Each structure stands twice: as C-alpha cells, then as structure tokens.
Structure 1
Amino acid sequence: MDRTAPADGTATPTPTGAPVPDAPGLLDGVPRQRAGGRGSCGTVDPGVRESRMPRPRLWRLLPTPTGTPFTFGYAIVLCVTSLISAYGGTALVHALLQGSSTDVAHLVRTPELVLVGSALWLAGGVASPFAIGLVLVLTALERRIGGLCTAGVFLLGHVLATLATEVPVGLAVLAGQLPASSLHRLDYGVSFGVAADTGALAGLLSPWLRVPLLAGFGGMLLQDLLAFTDPMTNWGHLIALAIGVATWPLIRRWQTRGAGSPGPVRG
C-alpha cells in the first residue's frame, strides 16, 4: 500500500520506489517568486527588487540603480554635467549654460528645451547644499512613491516655479519697469525641483519629522529672501516648496496604492 507524506513535508517512496508528490502547502519554507511592478505611480518598476539580505539602514539614505533608479540615474547625469562645468572650456560652458537658461527670451522661443535642459545643471557643483539635498530627498521620496511620481513632482515644481518667477519679469520689461537685459538673465539649476520634492516628502513623514523639516527648510528659504540677493530665485524656492506641500493629498494616495503592490521595495 502507498504511504502518505509525513508531517515534515518530505516525499516518501512507494513500494515501487516512485515518490509521492508533496501535497500543496507542505513546502511553506520555499520562497515563492513575486510578480514585478509595472512602473506606474505608487508601484515598483520592473527589476527593482533585490536580495532579501539585510543591509545597514544608512544605505537606504543613498540611491541605488535598482532600488531608486530615477534618483540614481539623475545623480549620474548631474555628476557628468558638473564635470563638464568644472573642466570644460569657459566659452563652451557659458554657451551650454546660456542655451539651457530659462530666461524669458528662451522660454518664448524654445520652452520645452530649456525647461528640461536647465534641470541638467547644478549651480554650485556636486558639493552644493541643493545637490546633497537632491540625493537625500529624491531617494527618500522615490522609496515611498516610486520613480515616476518623484520625477513628476520634481518637474511640476521646476516648471511652475520657473514660470511664476520669469513671467513677471517679462511683464515688468513690457511695462518699462525693468531693462530689456532682464529678458536674458542666466537661470538654471535643480533647486526648484528639490524644493518641491522636499515639500512633498514632508507630507509622508510623521509629524515629529515633518515639522522640523518644513520649519528648517522654509526658514532657510525665508532667510535667503530677506537677504534680498536674488529675490526672484528666492521667491521661486518658496513657490516650489508650496507646490510640493499642495501635492500631499495626491502623493498620499500614491503611497497607499504602492503599499498594496506585491513585495517590498529593495535597494
């Protein structure tokens, strides 16, 4: 007569030597493959999952190519453009920056080109406060809502804050309140996008982290505005921060939807 499988879940041979297939559910210790995400907001991009080997929590503050592909790739691009800015010829660098500037003249002629191009340069280089903030903030936000949504909030703040500061300049020139040279002011960098993502990230943190983040970052922006060294840019930072805060209802829905996706985000 055939034997049934013992309680430990191993297969036992029949008198003829053929093993009896294990019953469903007896091999609970064997990990099951999970389906990958689809890359939409709140879900994990394909191939994002890594080994379940534990890592120090410090690594979660930094981008990785599989855990936070958008932030990692964007950081690489910014490192390359920073090297060009630091070691390229003066005429070449000036031409590249001028061609990427979101001044009024460029926004009227080639708005799509300069709105994207201006976000590829770091004002102050890789050691600037906004460069460090970009890595930390975008990494934290991407781990919560995914790369597509993080990029969307970044672009939303970058584009809207740019328009909110440059359109008044154009109107002031038309009204004779500013000289025509104001239409060609050099304007580039990632700071508006970083400010928007910082405001968005605050909405996903617990109150004891949210309040110090907004108070500290907002206070720094207000201090820069009161210094009155570059009021248009300083106003743009505050506008971008407010845009990020305004996305809280949306990104909280994205985070909730992402929490229901199969498997944890690794990296």
Structure 2
Amino acid sequence: MERADASGDVTTGSPAPSGAPVAEGVRLLDGMPRQRGPADAVSVPPVPMVPPVSPAETAVPDEAVTGKRVLRPWRLLPTPTGTPFTFTFVAVLLVTALVAEYADPALVHALHQGSSTDVAHLLRTPVFVLVTSALWVVGGVASPYAVVLLLVLTALERRIGGLRTAGVFALGHVLATLATEVPVGLAVLVGWLPGSSLHRLDYGVSFGVAASVGALAGLLRPWLGWPVLLVFGGMLVGDLIAYTDPMTNWGHVMALAIGVATWPWARRWRRV
C-alpha cells in the first residue's frame, strides 16, 4: 500500500535490493527491471552441428504432393513377397491345369472323381475332398474363372492379408458346397432324385472365387465396387436363368452372397 513521507514524496515502502547502490535523489519503483550485468548473463548451450541432408532424402513422393494415387499395373499380379498366398495358390493351380491338359485322360478322370465333393465323398472323407476339390480349375488356366481368381485374390490379399483372403475363399467354397450337396442327399433319401446323384461330379474353384469377388466389392471405392458386384452378380443370375446346371449356379449365387456378408469383417481387417 502506498503512503506519503514527510516531504510529500510518494514511496512504495519496498527496500532497495541488497547489494545494489542507490544514487542520491533516485528512488526505486516497484516493477522497474534493473539492468543485467555480466554476472547475470544466461549461458546458451552450443548448437549441435546437423549434417546436410541430401535432396533424395527430403524428396516427397508424388502421391503425397499431388494427392493422387500413382498407377502401378504390376500390383495387379501376385508376387512371392507381396501376396504369398495368391502366388502359391496360383502356382498349384497351374500345375494341376497342366496335369489336366497333358496327362492321360483316364488318370485325369480318376483324379477328378477322387476330388469330387459329391454326397458320397462328403460322407466318407469330407475334409480331404473339400481341400482337393479347390485345386482344380474347370476349363484350365484360360477359363474366365482362372483370370478372375488371379486378379481378385491378388487385390483382396493386398487389402486384408493372405490368411484372411484364404479364409474368405475357404468360407465360400465350403459353405456353398454344403448348401448345394446336402439338399441333393436329402432328395435322394426321400426318393426325389435317383441314387446316382450321390456321385455327381463336383470340383473347382468357382465357389471360392465368387465369395472373394463379393468380399472385394465391399473394399473398393463405391464407383468401382458396386459395378463389379452388379456385373458379376448379373452374370451368375443369367447362368441360373439358363438352367444348364441349377445346383452349381445356385452355389455361385450363394457364394457371392457369403462374400458380401463378410463386408463388416473385411472392412475392419483393412483398417487394422
């Protein structure tokens, strides 16, 4: 609190800082900073020398600068390190396709028959035929399903990983197979179909491919994913209307629906 002294001057009541000489007639006011002397100098640590950075290290990718994705056509194909599951699976399918093309027809028929997921085999060796039936491509490597498998599995594995891609493929292959073969067995049991239907030849990768297409459509941008889904689904519905192989055609439609049903998990896997 300020007060007046005997001479009428106003003082603050604060004593002069110790050790600081006060000139006669000069009064100290609170809040006035005093001059720093050499002893009050603040030591500044030396600045470390930073080695020069080459332009290559500071270069920013074109994608980060422009905001546009750089097209890399080679990423459409599988590689041993980038997509190991697809690369290995396609290599196995290539081997079996060569066997089916150049081996003795009787041997090829026996291999197909032993790998068939018909009702009789599903009752005896379900795991064996569910695995081996997916190692053959109907029509060889030049068939449409082989091309779709190559592109779709590669794109799907680059987004959700190899194990999850194998899981989607296996889910569609197994569930669609059971959904088509179990009704055949029940129809034979009640007498609606002859006993020969229990040995119906059934093998190939088409159910797994359809499920993979359905799953991939949910991971693409809407302007691309929905047309892919509609075009592929329209082809399957057209085959079903043609009624050339209704059980297999129904299996394709159900496998596509199974792939679409995996969208919540596939999108979560992609974020992870």
TM-score in terms of structure 2 length = 0.76
Question: The residue matched to 1:229 in structure 2 has which SS?
Answer: coil
Quote how far apart the aligned CAs of 1:206 are: 1.2
Report how many aligned residue pairs link the two structures. 214
Asked if 1:136 is matched to 2:179, the reply is: no
- 1:75-154 → structure 2 map (5 Å cutoff): 75-154=90-169
Asked if 1:170 is matched to 2:213, the reply is: no
- The whole-number CA distance in structure 2 between the counterparts of 1:239 and 1:183 is 21
2:199 pairs, out of 167, 184, 191, with: 184
Larger Rg: 2
Quote how far apart the aligned CAs of 1:196 are: 0.2
1:220 pairs, out of 231, 235, 246, with: 235
Q: Deviation digits for residues 187-215 of structure 1, max 9, x if unmatched?
A: 00000000000000001011111111111
Quote how far apart the aligned CAs of 1:4 are: 5.9
Asked if 1:65 is matched to 2:108, the reply is: no
Quote how far apart the aligned CAs of 1:8 are: 3.2
Quote how far apart the aligned CAs of 1:5 are: 4.0
- The whole-number CA distance in structure 2 between the counterparts of 1:81 and 1:159 is 20
Q: Deviation digits for residues 58-116 of structure 1, max 9, x if unmatched?
A: 10111111110100100000000000001111111111100000000000000000000
TM-score in terms of structure 1 length = 0.77
- The whole-number CA distance in structure 2 between the counterparts of 1:7 and 1:225 is 70
**Contiguous gaps of at least 5 residues in structure 1:** 11-27, 31-54, 258-267
Quote how far apart the aligned CAs of 1:7 are: 3.6
**Structure-1 residue corresponding to 2:51:** 8
- The whole-number CA distance in structure 2 between the counterparts of 1:90 and 1:6 is 76
Which residue identity is paired with 1:201?
A: L
- The whole-number CA distance in structure 2 between the counterparts of 1:76 and 1:61 is 16
Quote how far apart the aligned CAs of 1:9 are: 5.3
- The whole-number CA distance in structure 2 between the counterparts of 1:205 and 1:198 is 11
Which residue identity is paired with 1:83?
A: L
Question: The residue matched to 1:189 in structure 2 has which SS?
Answer: coil
Which residue identity is paired with 1:176?
A: G
- The whole-number CA distance in structure 2 between the counterparts of 1:184 and 1:99 is 11
Which residue identity is paired with 2:90?
A: A
Question: The residue matched to 2:170 in structure 1 has which SS?
Answer: helix
Q: Deviation digits for residues 156-192 of structure 1, max 9, x if unmatched?
A: 0000000000000000001111110000010000000
Question: The residue matched to 1:65 in structure 2 has which SS?
Answer: coil
Question: The residue matched to 1:126 in structure 2 has which SS?
Answer: coil
Aligned Cα RMSD in Å?
A: 1.7
Question: The residue matched to 2:137 in structure 1 has which SS?
Answer: coil
2:175 pairs, out of 145, 154, 160, with: 160
Quote how far apart the aligned CAs of 1:56 are: 6.1
Identical columns (%): 71
Quote how far apart the aligned CAs of 1:29 are: 4.4
- The whole-number CA distance in structure 2 between the counterparts of 1:248 and 1:4 is 54
- The whole-number CA distance in structure 2 between the counterparts of 1:153 and 1:120 is 16
Question: The residue matched to 1:142 in structure 2 has which SS?
Answer: helix
**Contiguous gaps of at least 5 residues in structure 2:** 1-45, 59-69
- The whole-number CA distance in structure 1 between the counterparts of 2:233 and 2:190 is 32
Greater relative contact order (Cα < 8 A, sep 6+):
1
- The whole-number CA distance in structure 2 between the counterparts of 1:7 and 1:77 is 54
